[in-house]
Amino acid sequence: MRKQLIAAAIGAGVALASPAVFAQQDLNFDEYRAMLEDGNPAELYEMEGEELWKTARGPKNATLEQCDLGLGPGVVQGAAAQLPRYFADADKVQDLETRLMYCMEKQQGIDPAEIVNGKFLQGERRQMAALVAYVVGQSKGEKIAVDLSHPKMKEMYALGEQAFYYRTGAMDFACSSCHSQDGKRIRATQLPNITKPEGAAAGWGSWPAYRVSNSQFWTMQHRLWDCFRQQRTAEPIFASDVTIALSVFMAGKGNGAEAQWPGVKR
């Protein structure tokens, strides 16, 4: 009798589970995504960014070719895979955008306020997005290798973790409301579980990305800004500590995984 009950329970379990499994298969976009990877329109931005990197601009009429992204002046190959990092010259933890902004100020004389107070997809922020595409493209296939040993990196990681779980806004949402369980989705879009290394790597390692829905290239600052917006909370200031901290948290958790930059998203 007892055995029968167990068998029945298992049978019911299977029956209940199967429609869900079918639905999951039905929404399998792996084939679609694989087909988009070759010829990702983000390459157009990479090309523009590479040109921009070598173009003399700003009040100092200089290029960015002496910009140190952490591996020495002018070294772009592999640099993004190790960002964010602590930079002694700035005495700050900087992500890619913050570091580019620093270089644009120091080398070219471009006022950071133009970027911080600007709008995404416009003006200097648009220029920076192209630079970001170029730099991350030079780390495609590299392993994420963020050095968390510096005390300021540890501090940022802790702040990032705190921010990730911090509930706020009209809906009382945290990042973790959507990104701390496996198999969650918004409509058909799968949401990575960022509390696990593979989820963090999936998120961190596939942004910046080209979005086919609006034909736009989004940097990680842009992605995070939109997460805050979706959370119905105050917009974060561009390149502010909380945005860098969240990046340190994600990148640190994703350490060791291969970066697929730049990504292509629905």
Partner 1 sequence: MNNQRRDTLKAGGSLGMLGLLAAVGLIKPEMAQAAWNKDAFDAKDMDAALAAVGAGKPAESAEISITAPDIAENGAVVPVGVVSKLPKTEYIAIMIEKNPAMLAASFTLPEGTAADVQTRVKMGQTSNVFAVVKADGKFYMTKKEVKVTLGGCGG
Partner 2 sequence: MASPMRIRAAAKEGVTEVRVLMSHVMETGQRKDSSGALIPAHFITELTAKHNDKVVLSAEFGPSVSTNPYLAFKFNGGAKGDKVAVTWVDNKGETRTDEVQVS
Which of 228, 44, 255 is closest to 144 using CA atoms?
255
Q: Is 31 in the site for partner 1 (CB under 8 A)?
A: yes
Q: Pattern of binders to partner 1 over 165-204, x per CB under 8 A?
A: ----------------------xxx---------------
Neighbour tally for 185: CB within 10 Å: 11
CB of 140 to partner 2, least distance (A): 15
Backbone phi and psi for residue 265, each to the nearest 5 degrees, phi listed first: -125, 160
- Per CB under 8 A, 59 contacts partner 2: no
Token pair of 178 as six digits: 């959507």
Binds partner 2 by CB under 8 A, chosen from 30, 38, 89, 91: 38
Member of 4, 28, 149, 215 binding partner 2 (CB under 8 A): 215
CA 134, CA 140: separation in Å to the nearest integer?
Answer: 10
- Annotated active-site residue 227? The verdict is yes
Q: What is d(CA 108, CA 169) in angstroms, rounded to the nearest whole number?
A: 38
**# residues contacting partner 1 (CB under 8 A):** 16
Which of residues 27, 90, 158, 171 is near partner 1 by CB under 8 A? Answer: 27
47 near partner 2, rule: CB under 8 A: yes
**44 near partner 2 (CB under 8 A):** yes
Q: Which residues pair with 73 in a beta bridge?
A: 68
Alpha-carbon distance of 4 to 10, in angstroms, equals: 10
Q: Binding of partner 2 at residue 212 (CB under 8 A)?
A: yes
**Is residue 211 near partner 2 by the rule CB under 8 A?**
no
* Site for partner 2 contains 120 (CB under 8 A): no
The rounded distance, in Å, linking the Cα atoms of 41 and 34 is: 14
Residues labelled catalytic: 227
